Amino acid sequence: MKRALARLLLGGVLLLAATIVPSLAALRDSLPALLPVYFYVVFGGGILLAWRFDRSRLVLALLVLALADVALLRFAGSRAAGSGRVVFDAVALLLPLNLAALSWIAERGLLTLRGLWRALLLTAQALAVAVISHPALTGSAAWLEHRLVETGMLRAIDLPQPAIVAFALAFLLVTLRFILHPTPLEAGSVWALIGALLALTTQPGLGSTLYLTTAQLILVVALVETSYGMAYGDELTGLPARRALDEALLKLGDRYAIAMVDIDHFKQFNDRHGHDVGDQLLRMVGSRLAKVGGGGTAFRYGGEEFAVVFPGTSLEEALPFLESLRRTIETSVFTVRSRFRPPEKPKKRRASRGRKKVFVTVSIGVAEPTPDRPAPEEVLRAADAALYRAKKAGRNRLCT
Protein backbone atom coordinates (compact mmCIF):
# COMPACT_ATOMS: atom_id res chain seq x y z
CA MET A 1 0.00 0.00 0.00
CA LYS A 2 2.81 2.43 0.87
CA ARG A 3 4.55 1.70 -2.41
CA ALA A 4 1.32 2.23 -4.35
CA LEU A 5 0.67 5.58 -2.65
CA ALA A 6 4.26 6.65 -3.33
CA ARG A 7 3.78 5.92 -7.02
CA LEU A 8 0.66 8.10 -7.05
CA LEU A 9 2.42 11.04 -5.41
CA LEU A 10 4.49 12.38 -8.32
CA GLY A 11 1.58 12.62 -10.76
CA GLY A 12 -0.42 14.59 -8.22
CA VAL A 13 2.49 16.99 -7.68
CA LEU A 14 2.82 17.61 -11.44
CA LEU A 15 -0.89 18.32 -11.84
CA LEU A 16 -0.82 20.61 -8.81
CA ALA A 17 2.07 22.52 -10.39
CA ALA A 18 0.09 22.85 -13.63
CA THR A 19 -2.77 24.34 -11.63
CA ILE A 20 -0.56 26.83 -9.79
CA VAL A 21 1.61 28.01 -12.71
CA PRO A 22 -1.03 30.17 -14.49
CA SER A 23 -1.61 32.12 -11.28
CA LEU A 24 2.06 33.08 -10.89
CA ALA A 25 2.59 36.69 -11.90
CA ALA A 26 6.16 36.04 -13.05
CA LEU A 27 4.98 33.47 -15.63
CA ARG A 28 1.57 34.79 -16.58
CA ASP A 29 2.79 36.98 -19.44
CA SER A 30 5.34 34.53 -20.83
CA LEU A 31 3.08 31.46 -20.58
CA PRO A 32 1.58 31.81 -24.11
CA ALA A 33 5.10 31.74 -25.61
CA LEU A 34 6.39 28.95 -23.37
CA LEU A 35 3.43 26.60 -23.71
CA PRO A 36 4.10 25.51 -27.33
CA VAL A 37 7.72 24.76 -26.37
CA TYR A 38 6.49 22.77 -23.38
CA PHE A 39 4.16 20.76 -25.63
CA TYR A 40 6.72 19.95 -28.32
CA VAL A 41 9.46 19.02 -25.82
CA VAL A 42 7.17 16.70 -23.83
CA PHE A 43 5.43 15.16 -26.84
CA GLY A 44 8.60 14.77 -28.92
CA GLY A 45 10.70 13.48 -26.04
CA GLY A 46 7.92 11.13 -24.95
CA ILE A 47 7.50 9.65 -28.43
CA LEU A 48 11.25 9.07 -28.73
CA LEU A 49 11.45 7.39 -25.31
CA ALA A 50 8.39 5.25 -25.98
CA TRP A 51 9.80 4.24 -29.35
CA ARG A 52 13.17 3.41 -27.80
CA PHE A 53 11.58 1.19 -25.14
CA ASP A 54 8.97 -0.21 -27.57
CA ARG A 55 6.03 1.00 -25.50
CA SER A 56 3.09 1.08 -27.91
CA ARG A 57 0.62 1.96 -25.13
CA LEU A 58 2.53 5.14 -24.33
CA VAL A 59 2.86 6.16 -27.98
CA LEU A 60 -0.88 5.81 -28.50
CA ALA A 61 -1.72 7.59 -25.23
CA LEU A 62 0.52 10.53 -26.18
CA LEU A 63 -1.15 10.67 -29.61
CA VAL A 64 -4.62 10.60 -28.04
CA LEU A 65 -3.77 13.52 -25.74
CA ALA A 66 -2.05 15.46 -28.54
CA LEU A 67 -4.96 15.00 -30.95
CA ALA A 68 -7.38 16.11 -28.24
CA ASP A 69 -5.28 19.23 -27.66
CA VAL A 70 -5.14 20.07 -31.37
CA ALA A 71 -8.90 19.60 -31.72
CA LEU A 72 -9.69 21.79 -28.72
CA LEU A 73 -7.31 24.53 -29.91
CA ARG A 74 -8.71 24.43 -33.44
CA PHE A 75 -12.24 25.07 -32.25
CA ALA A 76 -11.47 27.01 -29.06
CA GLY A 77 -13.14 30.12 -30.36
CA SER A 78 -16.36 28.41 -31.43
CA ARG A 79 -16.97 25.99 -28.58
CA ALA A 80 -20.35 27.43 -27.62
CA ALA A 81 -22.24 26.12 -30.65
CA GLY A 82 -22.00 24.58 -34.10
CA SER A 83 -18.94 22.66 -35.25
CA GLY A 84 -16.87 23.75 -32.27
CA ARG A 85 -19.35 22.31 -29.81
CA VAL A 86 -19.60 19.03 -31.73
CA VAL A 87 -15.81 18.64 -31.68
CA PHE A 88 -15.69 19.43 -27.96
CA ASP A 89 -18.45 16.93 -27.18
CA ALA A 90 -16.79 14.20 -29.27
CA VAL A 91 -13.39 14.79 -27.66
CA ALA A 92 -14.95 14.79 -24.19
CA LEU A 93 -16.54 11.41 -24.95
CA LEU A 94 -13.65 9.68 -26.73
CA LEU A 95 -10.70 10.95 -24.69
CA PRO A 96 -11.51 9.17 -21.39
CA LEU A 97 -12.63 5.99 -23.16
CA ASN A 98 -9.39 5.81 -25.14
CA LEU A 99 -7.20 6.42 -22.09
CA ALA A 100 -9.07 3.76 -20.12
CA ALA A 101 -8.82 1.24 -22.97
CA LEU A 102 -5.09 1.90 -23.38
CA SER A 103 -4.52 1.25 -19.67
CA TRP A 104 -5.86 -2.29 -20.11
CA ILE A 105 -4.43 -3.43 -23.44
CA ALA A 106 -1.27 -5.53 -23.48
CA GLU A 107 1.99 -4.32 -24.96
CA ARG A 108 2.26 -5.74 -28.48
CA GLY A 109 5.00 -3.59 -29.95
CA LEU A 110 4.77 -0.59 -32.23
CA LEU A 111 5.19 -2.24 -35.62
CA THR A 112 3.19 -5.40 -35.04
CA LEU A 113 -0.14 -6.12 -36.70
CA ARG A 114 -2.06 -5.34 -33.49
CA GLY A 115 -0.09 -2.14 -32.99
CA LEU A 116 -0.93 -0.99 -36.52
CA TRP A 117 -4.62 -1.85 -36.04
CA ARG A 118 -4.73 0.26 -32.87
CA ALA A 119 -3.12 3.20 -34.66
CA LEU A 120 -5.61 2.76 -37.50
CA LEU A 121 -8.52 2.78 -35.04
CA LEU A 122 -7.23 6.02 -33.53
CA THR A 123 -6.94 7.56 -37.00
CA ALA A 124 -10.50 6.47 -37.81
CA GLN A 125 -11.76 8.22 -34.68
CA ALA A 126 -10.04 11.46 -35.68
CA LEU A 127 -11.56 11.26 -39.17
CA ALA A 128 -15.00 10.53 -37.71
CA VAL A 129 -14.80 13.64 -35.49
CA ALA A 130 -13.76 15.72 -38.51
CA VAL A 131 -16.69 14.38 -40.53
CA ILE A 132 -19.43 14.97 -37.95
CA SER A 133 -18.11 18.47 -37.28
CA HIS A 134 -18.98 19.51 -40.82
CA PRO A 135 -21.74 22.15 -40.69
CA ALA A 136 -24.03 19.98 -42.80
CA LEU A 137 -23.75 17.07 -40.35
CA THR A 138 -23.73 18.76 -36.96
CA GLY A 139 -27.39 17.86 -36.46
CA SER A 140 -26.54 14.14 -36.58
CA ALA A 141 -24.30 14.60 -33.54
CA ALA A 142 -27.07 15.87 -31.26
CA TRP A 143 -26.90 12.64 -29.27
CA LEU A 144 -23.56 13.79 -27.89
CA GLU A 145 -25.51 16.41 -25.87
CA HIS A 146 -28.29 14.03 -24.80
CA ARG A 147 -29.42 14.59 -21.21
CA LEU A 148 -29.74 11.32 -19.36
CA VAL A 149 -30.81 12.84 -16.03
CA GLU A 150 -32.19 16.29 -15.28
CA THR A 151 -30.33 17.55 -12.21
CA GLY A 152 -28.92 20.93 -11.33
CA MET A 153 -25.61 19.43 -10.20
CA LEU A 154 -24.92 17.86 -13.60
CA ARG A 155 -25.96 21.03 -15.41
CA ALA A 156 -23.35 22.94 -13.40
CA ILE A 157 -20.60 20.76 -14.92
CA ASP A 158 -19.58 22.10 -18.31
CA LEU A 159 -19.56 18.64 -19.85
CA PRO A 160 -22.28 16.79 -21.75
CA GLN A 161 -23.79 13.94 -19.79
CA PRO A 162 -22.54 11.16 -22.13
CA ALA A 163 -19.02 12.48 -21.50
CA ILE A 164 -19.60 12.48 -17.74
CA VAL A 165 -20.65 8.84 -17.95
CA ALA A 166 -17.57 8.09 -20.06
CA PHE A 167 -15.28 9.71 -17.47
CA ALA A 168 -16.97 7.84 -14.61
CA LEU A 169 -16.52 4.53 -16.42
CA ALA A 170 -12.92 5.40 -17.32
CA PHE A 171 -12.06 6.29 -13.72
CA LEU A 172 -13.48 2.98 -12.58
CA LEU A 173 -11.42 1.07 -15.14
CA VAL A 174 -8.08 2.83 -14.60
CA THR A 175 -8.46 2.68 -10.81
CA LEU A 176 -9.21 -1.03 -10.96
CA ARG A 177 -6.20 -1.53 -13.22
CA PHE A 178 -3.97 0.33 -10.75
CA ILE A 179 -5.29 -1.72 -7.81
CA LEU A 180 -4.54 -4.95 -9.66
CA HIS A 181 -1.18 -3.73 -11.04
CA PRO A 182 0.17 -0.83 -8.91
CA THR A 183 2.97 0.11 -11.33
CA PRO A 184 4.17 3.63 -12.20
CA LEU A 185 2.55 3.43 -15.65
CA GLU A 186 -0.85 2.53 -14.19
CA ALA A 187 -0.52 5.32 -11.62
CA GLY A 188 0.32 7.65 -14.51
CA SER A 189 -2.86 6.56 -16.30
CA VAL A 190 -4.95 7.60 -13.30
CA TRP A 191 -3.42 11.09 -13.19
CA ALA A 192 -3.48 11.48 -16.99
CA LEU A 193 -7.23 10.89 -16.90
CA ILE A 194 -7.62 13.51 -14.17
CA GLY A 195 -5.52 15.90 -16.27
CA ALA A 196 -7.81 15.26 -19.24
CA LEU A 197 -10.86 16.08 -17.11
CA LEU A 198 -9.27 19.31 -15.88
CA ALA A 199 -8.40 20.25 -19.48
CA LEU A 200 -12.01 19.87 -20.58
CA THR A 201 -13.43 21.82 -17.64
CA THR A 202 -11.05 24.78 -17.86
CA GLN A 203 -10.77 27.60 -20.36
CA PRO A 204 -9.99 26.41 -23.90
CA GLY A 205 -6.58 27.33 -25.22
CA LEU A 206 -3.86 27.87 -22.64
CA GLY A 207 -5.56 26.01 -19.81
CA SER A 208 -6.48 22.93 -21.81
CA THR A 209 -3.04 22.71 -23.45
CA LEU A 210 -1.29 23.05 -20.09
CA TYR A 211 -3.28 20.22 -18.51
CA LEU A 212 -3.13 17.89 -21.53
CA THR A 213 0.62 18.40 -21.91
CA THR A 214 1.10 17.80 -18.19
CA ALA A 215 -0.90 14.58 -18.59
CA GLN A 216 1.60 13.57 -21.28
CA LEU A 217 4.49 14.51 -19.00
CA ILE A 218 3.05 12.32 -16.22
CA LEU A 219 2.98 9.32 -18.57
CA VAL A 220 6.55 9.99 -19.76
CA VAL A 221 7.81 10.28 -16.18
CA ALA A 222 5.99 7.04 -15.36
CA LEU A 223 7.92 5.34 -18.18
CA VAL A 224 11.20 6.66 -16.77
CA GLU A 225 10.19 5.38 -13.30
CA THR A 226 9.36 1.98 -14.76
CA SER A 227 12.69 1.75 -16.59
CA TYR A 228 14.54 2.80 -13.44
CA GLY A 229 12.71 0.19 -11.39
CA MET A 230 13.53 -2.53 -13.90
CA ALA A 231 17.21 -1.58 -13.86
CA TYR A 232 17.67 -0.91 -10.14
CA GLY A 233 14.94 -2.90 -8.42
CA ASP A 234 14.19 -6.58 -7.96
CA GLU A 235 10.64 -7.28 -9.04
CA LEU A 236 10.26 -10.47 -7.02
CA THR A 237 11.32 -9.23 -3.57
CA GLY A 238 10.83 -5.48 -3.98
CA LEU A 239 14.40 -4.87 -2.77
CA PRO A 240 17.02 -2.84 -4.67
CA ALA A 241 18.89 -5.02 -7.14
CA ARG A 242 22.57 -5.70 -7.90
CA ARG A 243 23.05 -2.54 -9.96
CA ALA A 244 21.71 -0.42 -7.09
CA LEU A 245 24.18 -2.19 -4.78
CA ASP A 246 27.08 -1.39 -7.12
CA GLU A 247 26.17 2.31 -7.01
CA ALA A 248 25.67 2.26 -3.23
CA LEU A 249 29.17 0.86 -2.78
CA LEU A 250 30.61 3.86 -4.66
CA LYS A 251 29.05 6.26 -2.14
CA LEU A 252 30.43 4.65 1.01
CA GLY A 253 32.89 6.52 3.20
CA ASP A 254 35.64 5.06 5.37
CA ARG A 255 33.38 3.54 8.02
CA TYR A 256 30.82 0.93 7.06
CA ALA A 257 29.95 -2.76 7.26
CA ILE A 258 28.70 -5.13 4.59
CA ALA A 259 26.87 -8.39 5.26
CA MET A 260 26.10 -11.24 2.89
CA VAL A 261 22.99 -13.29 3.67
CA ASP A 262 22.17 -16.68 2.14
CA ILE A 263 19.08 -18.87 2.62
CA ASP A 264 20.16 -22.26 3.93
CA HIS A 265 19.37 -25.33 1.81
CA PHE A 266 17.44 -23.25 -0.70
CA LYS A 267 18.14 -25.60 -3.61
CA GLN A 268 16.70 -28.55 -1.70
CA PHE A 269 13.69 -26.41 -0.73
CA ASN A 270 13.13 -25.52 -4.38
CA ASP A 271 13.45 -29.14 -5.48
CA ARG A 272 11.00 -30.31 -2.80
CA HIS A 273 8.33 -27.62 -3.09
CA GLY A 274 8.78 -26.18 -6.58
CA HIS A 275 10.01 -22.86 -7.92
CA ASP A 276 6.73 -21.01 -7.24
CA VAL A 277 6.98 -21.80 -3.53
CA GLY A 278 10.66 -20.93 -3.68
CA ASP A 279 9.71 -17.48 -4.98
CA GLN A 280 7.30 -17.11 -2.05
CA LEU A 281 10.14 -17.90 0.32
CA LEU A 282 12.40 -15.33 -1.33
CA ARG A 283 9.67 -12.70 -0.94
CA MET A 284 9.25 -13.57 2.75
CA VAL A 285 12.97 -13.35 3.46
CA GLY A 286 13.18 -10.15 1.42
CA SER A 287 10.42 -8.58 3.52
CA ARG A 288 12.34 -9.42 6.72
CA LEU A 289 15.58 -8.02 5.28
CA ALA A 290 13.84 -4.80 4.29
CA LYS A 291 13.14 -4.18 8.00
CA VAL A 292 16.71 -4.68 9.21
CA GLY A 293 17.66 -1.99 11.74
CA GLY A 294 20.84 -0.06 12.34
CA GLY A 295 20.52 2.03 9.21
CA GLY A 296 21.16 -1.00 7.01
CA THR A 297 19.86 -1.27 3.45
CA ALA A 298 19.18 -4.71 1.97
CA PHE A 299 19.80 -5.62 -1.68
CA ARG A 300 18.97 -8.69 -3.76
CA TYR A 301 22.42 -9.91 -4.76
CA GLY A 302 21.34 -12.83 -6.91
CA GLY A 303 19.58 -16.18 -6.49
CA GLU A 304 19.07 -16.80 -2.77
CA GLU A 305 21.81 -14.35 -1.75
CA PHE A 306 21.26 -10.89 -0.33
CA ALA A 307 23.59 -8.08 0.71
CA VAL A 308 23.05 -5.61 3.56
CA VAL A 309 25.05 -2.38 3.64
CA PHE A 310 25.46 -0.37 6.86
CA PRO A 311 26.89 3.08 5.98
CA GLY A 312 28.68 4.88 8.82
CA THR A 313 28.40 1.78 11.02
CA SER A 314 31.18 -0.43 12.33
CA LEU A 315 31.07 -4.21 12.25
CA GLU A 316 30.53 -4.38 16.02
CA GLU A 317 27.60 -1.96 15.80
CA ALA A 318 25.98 -3.91 12.96
CA LEU A 319 26.26 -7.33 14.62
CA PRO A 320 23.24 -7.02 17.00
CA PHE A 321 20.94 -6.04 14.14
CA LEU A 322 22.17 -8.90 11.94
CA GLU A 323 21.81 -11.40 14.79
CA SER A 324 18.29 -10.10 15.43
CA LEU A 325 17.54 -10.56 11.72
CA ARG A 326 18.84 -14.14 11.81
CA ARG A 327 16.68 -15.01 14.83
CA THR A 328 13.62 -13.36 13.31
CA ILE A 329 13.89 -15.49 10.17
CA GLU A 330 14.67 -18.61 12.21
CA THR A 331 11.48 -18.23 14.27
CA SER A 332 9.24 -17.16 11.37
CA VAL A 333 6.71 -19.75 10.27
CA PHE A 334 6.58 -20.09 6.51
CA THR A 335 3.29 -21.51 5.26
CA VAL A 336 3.51 -23.22 1.88
CA ARG A 337 0.77 -21.45 -0.01
CA SER A 338 -1.62 -23.24 -2.28
CA ARG A 339 -1.42 -22.55 -5.99
CA PHE A 340 -4.96 -21.15 -5.79
CA ARG A 341 -4.46 -18.95 -2.73
CA PRO A 342 -5.06 -15.23 -3.45
CA PRO A 343 -1.95 -13.00 -3.45
CA GLU A 344 -3.32 -10.82 -0.63
CA LYS A 345 -3.97 -12.13 2.85
CA PRO A 346 -7.74 -12.55 3.35
CA LYS A 347 -9.42 -10.59 6.14
CA LYS A 348 -11.14 -13.71 7.43
CA ARG A 349 -8.66 -16.30 8.59
CA ARG A 350 -9.19 -19.70 7.06
CA ALA A 351 -8.51 -23.04 8.67
CA SER A 352 -4.86 -24.00 8.21
CA ARG A 353 -5.56 -27.74 8.17
CA GLY A 354 -3.70 -29.46 5.37
CA ARG A 355 -1.32 -26.57 4.70
CA LYS A 356 2.34 -27.33 5.29
CA LYS A 357 4.31 -25.11 7.63
CA VAL A 358 8.08 -25.02 7.38
CA PHE A 359 10.92 -23.13 9.03
CA VAL A 360 13.91 -21.70 7.22
CA THR A 361 17.21 -20.27 8.38
CA VAL A 362 19.88 -18.01 6.93
CA SER A 363 23.64 -17.84 7.22
CA ILE A 364 25.30 -14.45 7.44
CA GLY A 365 28.84 -13.24 6.82
CA VAL A 366 29.86 -9.67 7.67
CA ALA A 367 33.01 -7.62 7.16
CA GLU A 368 34.27 -4.06 7.44
CA PRO A 369 37.17 -2.18 5.78
CA THR A 370 40.67 -2.73 7.11
CA PRO A 371 44.06 -1.31 6.06
CA ASP A 372 44.72 -4.35 3.86
CA ARG A 373 41.22 -4.28 2.25
CA PRO A 374 39.96 -0.67 2.14
CA ALA A 375 37.88 -0.91 -1.07
CA PRO A 376 34.14 -1.81 -0.82
CA GLU A 377 34.58 -4.57 -3.42
CA GLU A 378 37.22 -6.17 -1.21
CA VAL A 379 34.99 -5.86 1.87
CA LEU A 380 32.17 -7.49 -0.10
CA ARG A 381 34.43 -10.41 -0.98
CA ALA A 382 35.50 -10.67 2.66
CA ALA A 383 31.85 -10.78 3.75
CA ASP A 384 31.23 -13.51 1.17
CA ALA A 385 34.16 -15.49 2.55
CA ALA A 386 32.72 -15.09 6.07
CA LEU A 387 29.38 -16.34 4.75
CA TYR A 388 31.12 -19.43 3.35
CA ARG A 389 32.63 -20.09 6.79
CA ALA A 390 29.20 -19.75 8.42
CA LYS A 391 27.73 -22.32 6.05
CA LYS A 392 30.67 -24.64 6.48
CA ALA A 393 30.36 -24.39 10.27
CA GLY A 394 26.79 -25.73 10.19
CA ARG A 395 24.64 -22.88 8.80
CA ASN A 396 22.11 -20.72 10.68
CA ARG A 397 24.87 -18.63 12.18
CA LEU A 398 26.76 -15.36 11.76
CA CYS A 399 30.48 -15.17 11.06
CA THR A 400 32.83 -12.21 10.69
**Mean pLDDT, to the nearest integer, of 356-381?**
88
Strand order in the sheet with 362-367: 297-302, 305-311, 256-263, 362-367, 398-399
288-329 pLDDT per residue, tens: 999 998 899 999 998 889 999 999 999 999 999 999 999 999
Q: What pTM value is reported for the model?
A: 0.74
242-287 pLDDT per residue, tens: 888 998 898 898 899 999 999 998 888 888 878 888 888 888 889 8
SS (H, E, C) 168-203: HHHHHHHHHHHHHCCCHHHHHHHHHHHHHHHHHCCC
Spans of all domains in the chain? 2-232, 242-343+353-399
**Mean pLDDT, to the nearest integer, of 27-32?**
80
Per-residue confidence (pLDDT) for residue 320, from 0 to 100: 92
CA torsion through residues 272, 273, 279, 282, sign? negative
Q: Tell me, which fold does domain 242-343+353-399 have in CATH?
A: Alpha-Beta Plaits (3.30.70)
Q: Is the pLDDT of residue 346 over 60?
A: no
∠ CA(386), CA(389), CA(390), 5° rounding? 90
d(C-alpha 270, C-alpha 186), whole Å: 33
